[in-house]
């Protein structure tokens, strides 16, 4: 069995940085597609679609299998999982910062004197 190494996150984020490739991945989440099927929704040539597919392959996001003359593409979710883990750190960071800001604002509201008309704002 051949051991596969995770592609660098740079390649994954580069591949995800293009709207066409993101849409192709969305299609592949529904099931395998041929290169022609992946190219169909876009006003691009098969050669251009193939370049997008090669970028996705290089990032490890898809796997292409040749069956006769047909090239079938399948989503490989593991690199997305690694990107999600990396982004999770920043999600926790910003959630913590926003929670701290909310606490400060609530404390400030609680300490503020009431207005003349009795409104707590």
CATH number, position 68:
1.10.10.10
In a domain, residue 36? The reply is yes
Give how many domains the chain has, as a whole number.
Answer: 1
> What pLDDT was estimated at residue 117?
66
Q: Which residues make Cβ contacts (< 8 Å) with residue 48, sequence separation at least 6?
A: 39
> What pLDDT was estimated at residue 23?
96
> What pLDDT was estimated at residue 75?
96
Measure the CA–CA gap between 53 and 47, rounded to whole angstroms: 10
> For the chain, first and last CA: distance in Å?
66
Q: Distances from the Cα of 76 to the Cαs of 6, 7, 14, 81, 83, in angstroms?
A: 11, 12, 16, 10, 13
In a domain, residue 111? The reply is no
> What pLDDT was estimated at residue 2?
43
> What pLDDT was estimated at residue 7?
66
* Helices assigned H by DSSP within 1-121: 9-16, 19-29, 35-39, 46-58, 78-111
In a domain, residue 18? The reply is yes
In a domain, residue 114? The reply is no
Chunked in runs of 10, what are the mean pLDDT values of the chain (121 residues)?
Answer: 63 93 96 94 92 95 93 92 86 87 89 70 52
**Residue range of the domain that includes 21:** 9-76
In a domain, residue 25? The reply is yes
Please indicate, yes or no, whether the overall pTM of this predicted structure exceeds 0.85: no
> What pLDDT was estimated at residue 3?
43
> What pLDDT was estimated at residue 93?
83
């Amino acid at each position: 069995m051949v051991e596969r190494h995770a592609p660098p996150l740079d390649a994954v984020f580069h591949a995800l940085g293009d709207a066409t490739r993101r849409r192709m991945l969305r299609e592949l989440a529904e099931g395998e597609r041929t290169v022609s099927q992946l190219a169909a929704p876009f006003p691009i040539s098969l050669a251009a679609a193939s370049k997008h597919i090669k970028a996705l392959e290089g990032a490890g996001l898809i796997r292409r299998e040749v069956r006769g003359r047909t090239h079938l593409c399948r989503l490989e979710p593991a690199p997305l999982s690694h990107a999600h883990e990396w982004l999770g750190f920043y999600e926790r960071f910003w959630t913590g910062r926003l929670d701290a800001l909310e606490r400060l604002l609530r404390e400030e509201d609680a300490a503020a004197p009431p207005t003349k008309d009795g409104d707590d704002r």
